[in-house]
Amino acid sequence: MGAPRNLARRLLWAALQLASPGCREWAEAMASELEYIEGEWPALFWALGCTTAIFRRCLIEWGAQFGKQVGNLLGIRSIKEENKMNSTGKKTLGVLSGAGIAVALGVCMFFLRDVIGDMLLAVGIQKSMWSHFFSVIVPTEVVLIIVAALLWKRRAPVSVGILVACAVMALHVAVTLASH
């Protein structure tokens, strides 16, 4: 047995451990199907696809559970909403993903601020609050707004998540600027 197949087996085994009860049978089906695939690399690509499918499924289920718990906590659950819980879960997951993407980009830009500052110094722009504002914060916000606009039609919840995170960042910047 070659390394790719070994890796494929390990991947699916790990995915199987994480699989929720709802998709455990499917995860087992994918793992057993692996043994019928000829070739090392096709087996690895098969396992990669299966692992993605299992994780996506788990995320949707966790999102649905999270939405349900939030609904329970807020006491806003109705019979109609209960029927739509699956879609609510997906939407919640979408909003959280959007916010996560925005925060990740924000964090990346925060860590890159010194590099950007040095690049600006190289072209003769001194480090200041305003150089930081226009070279780090404004581009981040612009990129996020463009991404949100592009995603609006196909992934509205993700878009909303990005815009919410964007608004929070903008508010933070406004408060910082006002306090200076």
Partner 1 sequence: MKLKLSPQTLLILDAFLDHPAEWKYGYDLSRSTGLKSGTLYPLLMRLAERKLLETAWETGEPGRPPRHIYRFTPEGMQFARDNRRSRTVAQVGQPILHEARG
User: Which of 29-37, 66-74, 93-101, 159-167 is the region at the interface with partner 1 (rule: CB under 8 A)?
Assistant: 29-37
Is position 31 an interface residue for partner 1 (rule: CB under 8 A)?
yes
The two tokens of residue 44 are 């690895």
The nearest distance, CB 149 to partner 1, in angstroms, is: 24
End-to-end CA, the chain: 64
The nearest distance, CB 145 to partner 1, in angstroms, is: 29
Is position 83 an interface residue for partner 1 (rule: CB under 8 A)?
no
User: Which of 45-53, 88-96, 122-130, 171-179 is the region at the interface with partner 1 (rule: CB under 8 A)?
Assistant: 45-53
Is position 143 an interface residue for partner 1 (rule: CB under 8 A)?
no
**CB of 39 or CB of 139, closer to partner 1:** 39
What is the Cα–Cα distance from 52 to 50, expressed in whole angstroms?
5
Give the number of C-alpha atoms closer than 13 A to the C-alpha of residue 92, restricted to the C-beta side: 19
Sole residue written with tokens 């608004």: 167
The two tokens of residue 68 are 């349900």
Whether the CB-CB separation of 98 and 76 falls below 8 Å is answered with no
List interacting residues with partner 1 (CB under 8 A): 23, 25-26, 28-33, 35-37, 45-50, 52-53, 56-57
